[in-house]
Structure 1
Amino acid sequence: MEEERLQKYMARCGVASRRKAEELIAGGSVKVNGIVVTELGTKIHPSIDVVTVDNKRITEENNFIYIKLYKPEGCVTTVKDQFGRKTVLDFIDINERIYPIGRLDYNTSGLLLLTNDGETANKLLHPKFHIFKTYLAEVEGQISDEAIIRLKNGVEIEDYKTAPAKVKIIRRTSYVSTVQISIYEGKNRQVRKMLDAVGHKVKSLKRISFGKIGLDGLKPGTWAYLKDEEINFLKNGQEG
């Protein structure tokens, strides 16, 4: 009988991505056969062991759900918020338990994907797959060609240098500029920090695509199930 790492099993059951599953294990929310497990290396026998999360038994999902939401500004990308702020799940009226793939910060709007397919979510969050996320950023001031070149080549942020980005100017005036920027990394507030690094504060930021998946006429606060071709991209697509 084949064993499986607990966090991988949790991801397959649609509880969370592997990364989030590890947080749940470390936080004492997970039991195996009634015993709290906090060791991340724990292995289980899926066919006989009973796994619970917050005292609710989990089982493998047979029907995965994939949703895209046009996240408005002023809400958090989380399942629930300790401060009572509006979350992205407040906009989606389904019974199934889903969770976001990655994050958009409180003041960033645009495309957010949600699912209960933990394995696919785990893959998409890994930068080795080079899936580009594209943003429209309105920044203060007239951005220079030199700044664009720096962004394309990667800039120093805190303790790391960003990977090369795809960047083009959409609009440029003396007071404000609009830039389209595509990155395949997903570090916290990365686009804002990149533009700060070249001397331009972000006034507004919107994600317009995740690989080949776009907003397709969605309005802020509205959502739709992914089409078959979009799901196929999530599962099999890989950009250069």
Structure 2
Amino acid sequence: MKLKKLLLILIAFGLCACSSPVLPDEEAAQPVVIYLVRHGKTWFNTTGQVQGWSDTPLTEEGQLQADAVGIGLKDVEFVAAYTSDLGRVRETAARILAENTHDTPELFELTGLREWNFGGYEGRNDAEMWGALFDTHGLGEFNPALMGELLGSMTNQELADEIAANDELHAAETYDEIASRTETAINQIIEECKALGGGNVLVVSSGGAIRTILNNIDPERTQLDDVKNCSVTQIIIEGDHITLADISNTSYLETGLEALNK
């Protein structure tokens, strides 16, 4: 009887020792914090031409902006870094990482982070695309100074779908197409970074794509007039909960510009 009792105790002890409901990795897991940055100013941004999937290089000002936001973020240790496959975005991301004081991760490209595809409007004068929307919404002739008023009066879905409907080539993306690919890209980033145990993640994309990403998370908070070049939006993921902590913040850019001007 004593031997049987001893064997039962040993078996029970073995089962307790082997069952571990919480792994050490899970205990140490951190939130995933995404630093979502828009690329620096480009040639088409300067000349007033439609730029979506078409690509033009950063201007000297755009390169300076990318360097500056990199300096502003230099003490943030990134566990991962992602960019779209557009040259202006890749260069911005590379310049940001070049200023970082920590060991930097490899930069991965995701096509889902691309800017909106404006179809037949790509490369044409802004007035050709936006003028039709100004007229439809009672703002008269195209005026860049009134862009904020136009964007503030429309949802992201209305904007994308009206541009797609006006495109004579029928090549521009609808909002649902843009929302689907950007959501897939962000979900991939979140899952991959959760697998790393969480931490800070650099994601560099374009203005329209960033608006869509934010709209997917919180439609009521993200009807913005603009996402500024090299502004930083912070998204915090804790478990299944996502928080928009900061939107289109230019303080990192401004800090870097001050440092460069000293």
TM-score bucket (shorter structure)? under 0.3
Greater relative contact order (Cα < 8 A, sep 6+): 2
| Greater C-alpha Rg | 2
Q: Identify, as 1 or 2, the structure richer in strand.
A: 1
Instruction: State TM-score, norm by structure 1.
Output: 0.27
Instruction: State TM-score, norm by structure 2.
Output: 0.25
Q: Identify, as 1 or 2, the structure richer in helix.
A: 2
